[in-house]
Structures are given as C-alpha cells and as structure tokens.
C-alpha cells in the first residue's frame, strides 16, 4: 500500500527514500571524544614547581631588599671579620655594625643572629685547622665544650633582662686589667705544660669556661680573648695552644646562642648563609696567619684588641647605645 510521508515528519534517525519508503539510518550515537587537554606553558610549570621554594626564599629574606653593592660590602666585611675572629676574636665588632649600617631598617636581634651563623661556621673551620696543627688536649675540650654550650644558651636567654649600660663599664675595666697584665708580663703565654690539670685547677677552668660562655650569650665582645687568657693562666698553656682550645670552645658558645636565635625565628638565612661562606674564607686565612706568627703574633693581637674594644665600648657607653 502506497502512502506519502510529509517532508520533515520522519522520526529522527529515519531517512525518507522515494514515495512512502522510510528506512532507518545508521546510528550516529558513537561516543564523543573529550577535547584535547591543553598543557600549560613550560614557564607556568616552572613557576608552579618553584612556588614553594620562592615563598620560602621570601620568608628567609625577611622582606628586606638588598642591592648588589650592599651584598659586596657585607661579603667583604664578613671575610675580614672571619680573619679577625681566627686571629684573636672580636670579628663581631666589625660585622654587626656593618650589617646595621647597610640595612638600618633591620632589627638588631636579626643582625646578631646573622653574625652568629657566620661566626659559628668561620670559627669552626678555624678550629679544625688549628687543632690539626697544634694538637691541644682533647680530653679537656670534651669537658669544656658541653659546659660552654649550655651556659651560652642560658646567657642568650637572660640577655634581654640585663642592662648593658651597667655591664659595659665592668667589661672595659676587666679588659684594661688584662691588657696591663699582658703588657707587663712578657713571659706570660710562652710556656707550656703537658700535664692535665687536676683538683682546683680543673674546677677553676670549668667555672671560667661557664662564666665566659654565659658572657658570650649575654654580651659577646672579647669572648675569644677571655678564653685565651683563662686557658693560659689556669692550664699553663702557651698562647698558641690556648688559642686553638679557645676556637673549639668558642664554636660551642656560638652554637648555644645560635640555637636560641633560631628557635626565636630571628635568623635571616638568605644573608646568613652567604656571609657564612665569606667568613669561612677569612677564618682560614686567619688560622694560617696565627699558625705562621705563633705566640708573638697572638700577644700583639691581644693587646691591639684590648685597645680597640675599650675605645669601641667606651664610645657606645658615651652615646648610650
């Protein structure tokens, strides 16, 4: 029977062929493929990968921008401070004011923390070099190092509660006494005892290390010099052996104070690590200078440090800093 289908009246999926002929079309319901996923550019990938590290770097930088010229000045100053620390101590008198001069907006406690990082690395490298050559008594150092570590940490914790305007004159007087004693005792620091201290001498040396380490955590300037004087007087060592021992003990006092600074979040790592490398370079040069100059060089360096530090601390006291 013939019939006619109006155009457009066929069911979807059916095809009209001729008059009255309706044929089902092949199914066109094949699954559609998802559009190709566009990968982000390589630069975007790199930024996504580096984003956590960039954030860490910004946190490490304390949000302070430093120009290339400032970096150059601080790196050179850190190397000089490392040399001074290795020879006699007192490198912080150079590096801390330099950091604050280049970046006056920086908190003083951050400058102290950065200096401690540099001092730890530089003094440790100088200590290794000198111990290999001088061979100080390691049994004594095994006693002094933990004492210094604990006492310096306690000193750093107590630093904020002590008035430096009161401490500074006492330190100046003590340094003057040390300078006069060394100047008028040419034989001091030239002898050497191979016997390990016992009895009251051992306990006096331990007490002196604890007091000097606490002083390093509280105030700091001249710690190396005081350690050299204590070891020379109480252990009957020459200046060179005392200097090698002082480097080892001073490293532990710096570590004890640095732990307090790190837990308080005061270290600017971006700056501290760069200055630490420069400080190591200066410290290695300083250690070789000491080993070449011997006791006589340390004696003259000690007297020079007394004059410089008394003048510097006196100026700070006068300015009320």
| pTM higher than 0.95 | no
Q: Which letter, b or e, does each residue of 235-256 get, where b requires 16 or more Cβ atoms within 10 Å of its Cβ?
A: bbbbbbbbbbbbbbbbbbbbbb
pLDDT in tens, 218-259: 877 788 889 999 999 888 888 899 999 999 999 999 898 888
pLDDT in tens, 41-89: 554 444 344 334 334 444 345 555 667 888 899 999 999 999 998 988 8
Residue 306 pLDDT: 87
CB neighbour list of residue 278: distance below 8 Å, 6 or more residues apart: 75, 76, 78, 79, 82, 118
CA 220/CA 211 separation, integer angstroms: 12
223 near 215, Cβ under 8 Å?
yes
């Amino acid at each position: 029977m013939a019939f006619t289908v109006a155009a457009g009246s066929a069911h979807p999926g059916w095809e009209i062929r001729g008059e009255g002929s309706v044929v089902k079309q092949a199914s066109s319901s094949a699954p559609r493929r998802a559009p190709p996923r566009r990968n982000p550019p390589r630069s975007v990938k790199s930024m996504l990968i580096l984003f956590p590290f960039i954030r860490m770097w910004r946190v490490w930088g304390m949000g302070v921008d430093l120009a290339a010229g400032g970096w150059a000045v601080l790196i050179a100053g850190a190397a000089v401070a490392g040399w001074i620390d290795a020879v006699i101590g007192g490198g912080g008198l150079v590096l801390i004011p330099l950091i604050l001069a280049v970046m006056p907006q920086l908190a003083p406690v951050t400058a102290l923390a950065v200096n401690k990082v540099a001092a730890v690395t530089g003094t440790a490298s100088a200590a290794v070099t000198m111990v290999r050559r001088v061979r100080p008594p390691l049994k004594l150092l095994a006693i002094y190092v933990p004492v210094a570590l604990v006492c310096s940490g306690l000193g750093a914790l107590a630093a904020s509660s002590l008035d430096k305007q009161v401490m500074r004159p006492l330190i100046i007087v003590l340094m003057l006494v040390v300078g006069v004693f060394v100047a008028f005792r040419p034989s001091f620091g030239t002898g050497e005892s191979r016997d390990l201290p016992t009895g009251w001498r051992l306990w006096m040396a331990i007490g002196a290390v604890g007091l000097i380490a606490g002083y390093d955590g509280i105030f700091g300037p001249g710690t190396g010099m005081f350690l050299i004087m204590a070891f020379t007087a109480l252990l009957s060592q020459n200046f060179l052996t005392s200097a090698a021992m002082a480097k080892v003990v001073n490293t532990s006092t710096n570590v004890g104070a640095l732990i307090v600074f790190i837990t308080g979040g005061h270290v600017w790592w971006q700056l501290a690590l760069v200055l630490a490398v420069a400080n190591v370079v200066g410290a290695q040069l300083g250690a070789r200078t000491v080993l070449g100059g011997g006791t006589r060089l340390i004696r003259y360096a000690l007297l020079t440090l007394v004059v410089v530090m008394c003048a510097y601390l006196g100026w700070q006291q006068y300015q009320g800093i």
